[in-house]
Amino acid sequence: MTLGVVSLTAAAWRAIVPGIEPAVTEIRLPLRHEDIIRQQAQDKRLDPALVAAVIYAESRFRDDQESPAGAMGLMQVTPDTARDIARASGGSAFVLGDLHTPQVNIAYGTYRLRQMMDRFGDETPVALAAYNAGPENAKVWLARDRARGRGFTVADIPFPETRNYVDKVLDAREDYRRTYPTELGLE
């Protein structure tokens, strides 16, 4: 009798587990709007896994997210940054509420990320620090590290929030590469 119950339980578990695994992955490491991510990453010459990781760190893929500082949407773009990007990119019909639209938010967030990558020579950790804490802070930190005769190190970022943010994004980028290579167009 006990052997029959164990066999039945094992069979039921095998039938349930394949359906649970994708759900657990989606909770642990969500991915939405991958078509927009792929398109914007390609347009801006960015790694789509990095874009997904920034979205994960900024909002966990919740497009209604709003920070106390007023940053909005998936990539947490501030109104001032959005206005600057709209002017620079010719977005004449931009309104602030558009930042809750995935297409607009990811387009503007990747535009900003590309600006930071260009400004800091495609040094991803510095660009991420700039995305989070502002380019002037990142410029000071980079200059300080260079004056010490070494490269930029995440561990030396003086803002704990930014240091944790950069580590989180870099870790998540590897997770997205490993978990969603097909969805992000990495294969």
Residues marked active site are found at 58
| Diameter over CA atoms, the chain | 75
Please choose, from the candidates 86, 88, 76, 182, the residue with its C-alpha nearest in 3D space to the C-alpha of residue 128.
76
d(CA 149, CA 174): 29
**CA dihedral over 47, 53, 57, 63, signed as positive or negative:** positive
Q: Where are the beta strands (DSSP E) in 29-168?
A: none
Cα gap 93→43, rounded to integer Å: 21
